[in-house]
Amino acid sequence: MHLEEFTDNAPRAMEVWLELLRQKAPGERLATTLGLADLALKMAEAEVRKTDPQAPDREVFLRVAALHLPRELMIRAYRWDPETDGDAG
């Protein structure tokens, strides 16, 4: 595995990060992963809100979901088409 493929930092920085993760207990690694996923979702939500500050919470949720899910799944799961019901980004 080439670590430089996964980061814009120095490869040594990624090695240190991975070593720190390896030293954590499985539950701590899971908590770190879930925390990073939550951060990514909050960043996506902030970008949607920046684009349309007046958007209702439900629409913000749907736009963020549409960034991560295929159109067909958005329509099937939420009955919301990002191409016709709102700007998905």
Kindly report, residue by residue over 15-35, the tens digit of the pLDDT.
888 899 899 999 999 999 999
CB 3 within 8 A of CB 15: yes
Torsion of CA 3, 11, 30, 43, to 10 degrees: -100
- Report residue 7's pLDDT band, with 50, 70 and 90 as the boundaries: low
What tens digit of pLDDT does each residue of 30-61 get? Answer: 999 999 999 999 999 999 999 999 999 999 99
CB 82 within 8 A of CB 71: yes
CB 67 within 8 A of CB 88: yes
